[in-house]
């Protein structure tokens, strides 16, 4: 349903591009086979969906070639929302439905391919969410549903009421929790392929001077040299080696960075290379 590499647009408002430049970027992603775009209502302080929709309106025929993912469930305290006194989570049916309706308008589309609840919410009523999802599915407004940043038990709870197709979580060599906390075991068991945010640790993997990052980067670079690819490509390949078959989400504006991510779909790290990267990150051999 999603392309093997997904393009994340969290940072798009900071790119300061014209609608034509945004359209060009979208076209280049599509030409590379990166056809899925990861949004959230709140990106750019509720502005990014509209920036994307504005570009898409210049070439509406492209909509049929792409999958649009968006999220809801966070209420930010920004000028556009004067009623919000404090940042909070809202997974009420009323908010979910309203948020989707706004996303459809902003993205200038009739249908969202995948809607995610952005964060787990202690006040989430699973029956109420399931009813909202059913309504949106029946109305043809959303095709499929998932969650983001959920623990396995939070996922289990909602999945028992309504089918979820993914849990979008952070993972990279500097943040390995989902490898060991049951998140990816559950994804493999249920065949709900995870989506992975910040696959390059928000860039830190390639730029940070912290000891752990430098250790990992050195190894990514030397393994990359053997394959004739960049350190970034090896970082993506490390994630794509996982048997839960995750979809990494890029965060770069640069098409070359997108090409580096796509290059990872053409190589498979062997078990020892994969483990060397894990060991460089943890600083110790596996037990
Ligand atoms: N569900 C959630 O809670 C959640 C949270 C965070 C993010 N996300 C999603 O995940 C997407 C990706 O997150 P992310 O932006 O943190 O991803 P990332 O790929 O880990 O980081 C991208 C950042 O790293 C920089 N960078 C530095 N060197 C790079 C290199 N060699 N190659 C590529 N990038 C390099 C990029 O700058 P340049 O643009 O200059 O290349 C960009 O600012 C977001 O757009 C969003 O869709 C979801």
Structure tokens at 65: 């070639």
pLDDT at 78: 86
Q: Please write the tens of the pLDDT for every residue from 204-230.
A: 999 999 999 999 999 999 999 999 999
Which of 39, 22, 7 is closest to 114 using CA atoms? Answer: 39
Query: Ligand 1: which of 119, 150, 252 to mutate, most ligand atoms within 8 Å of CB?
Result: 252
Structure tokens at 191: 């065949």
Which of 110, 123, 119, 93 is closest to 41 using CA atoms? Answer: 119
Please name the residue whose Cα sits nearest to atom 43 of ligand 1: 252
Please state the atom number of ligand 1 nearest to the C-alpha of residue 199. Answer: 20
Strand 88-89, strand 74-75: pairing: antiparallel
Per-residue pLDDT of the chain (287 residues), as tens digits, is 899 999 999 999 999 999 999 999 999 999 999 999 999 999 999 999 999 999 999 999 999 999 999 999 999 998 777 789 999 999 999 999 999 999 999 999 999 999 999 999 999 999 999 999 999 999 999 999 999 999 999 999 999 999 999 999 999 999 999 999 999 999 999 999 999 999 999 999 999 999 999 999 999 999 999 999 999 999 999 999 999 999 999 999 999 999 999 999 999 999 999 999 999 999 999 99
Q: Count of alpha carbons within 13 Å of 3, Cβ hemisphere only?
A: 24
Q: What's the rounded Cα separation, in Å, for the pair 228 and 234?
A: 10
Query: Ligand 1: which of 5, 8, 74, 207 to mutate, most ligand atoms within 8 Å of CB?
Result: 8
Taking all residues of the chain, what is their mean pLDDT, rounded to a whole number? Answer: 97
Pocket flag, ligand 1, residue 217 (CB < 6 Å): no
Residue 196 Cα distances to 4, 46, 174, angstroms: 11, 22, 13
pLDDT at 83: 84
Are 87 and 74 within 8 A, CB to CB?
yes
Q: What's the rounded Cα separation, in Å, for the pair 95 and 100?
A: 8
Output DSSP code: residue 253: S
Predicted TM-score (pTM) above 0.95: yes
The SS3 of residue 14 is: helix
Please state the atom number of ligand 1 nearest to the C-alpha of residue 11. Answer: 45
Q: Is 43 a known active-site residue?
A: yes
Which of 36, 46, 57 is closest to 112 using CA atoms? Answer: 36
Distance 252 CA to ligand 1 centre (A): 5
Q: Please write the tens of the pLDDT for every residue from 40-87.
A: 999 999 999 999 999 999 999 999 999 999 999 999 998 777 789 999
Task: Indicate the helix (H) or strand (E) that contains 276.
Answer: helix 271-282
Phi, psi (rounded to 5 degrees) for 39? -115, 175
Are 111 and 141 within 8 A, CB to CB?
yes
Share above pLDDT 90 across residues of the chain, in percent, rounded to a whole number: 97
Q: What's the rounded Cα separation, in Å, for the pair 103 and 71?
A: 9
Task: Indicate the helix (H) or strand (E) that contains 106.
Answer: helix 93-107
């Amino acid at each position: 349903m999603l392309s093997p590499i997904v393009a994340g647009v969290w940072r798009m408002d900071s790119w300061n591009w014209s609608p034509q430049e945004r359209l060009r970027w979208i076209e280049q992603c599509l030409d590379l086979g990166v056809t899925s775009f990861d949004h959230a209502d709140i990106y750019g302080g509720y502005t990014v969906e509209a920036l994307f929709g504005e570009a898409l309106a210049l070439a509406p025929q492209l909509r049929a070639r792409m999958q649009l993912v968006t999220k809801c469930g966070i209420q930010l305290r920004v000028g556009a929302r004067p009623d919000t006194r404090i940042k909070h989570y809202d997974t009420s049916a009323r908010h979910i439905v309203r948020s989707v309706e706004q996303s459809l308008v902003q993205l200038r589309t009739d249908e969202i391919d995948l809607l995610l609840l952005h964060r787990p919410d202690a006040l989430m009523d699973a029956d109420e969410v399931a009813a909202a999802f059913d309504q949106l599915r029946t109305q043809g407004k959303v095709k499929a549903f998932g969650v983001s940043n959920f623990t396995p038990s939070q996922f289990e709870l909602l999945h028992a009421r309504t089918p979820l197709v993914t849990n979008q979580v952070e993972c990279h060599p500097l943040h390995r929790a989902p490898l060991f906390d049951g998140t990816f075991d559950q994804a493999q068991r249920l065949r709900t392929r995870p989506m992975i945010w910040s696959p390059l640790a928000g860039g830190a993997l390639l730029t940070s001077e912290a000891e752990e990052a430098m250790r990992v980067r050195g190894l990514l670079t030397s393994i990359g040299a053997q394959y004739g690819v960049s350190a970034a490509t090896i970082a993506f390949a490390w994630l794509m080696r996982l048997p839960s078959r995750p979809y990494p989400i890029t965060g770069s504006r640069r098409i070359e960075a997108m090409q580096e991510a796509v290059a990872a779909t053409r190589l498979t790290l062997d078990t020892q290379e994969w483990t060397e990267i894990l060991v460089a990150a943890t600083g110790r051999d596996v037990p």
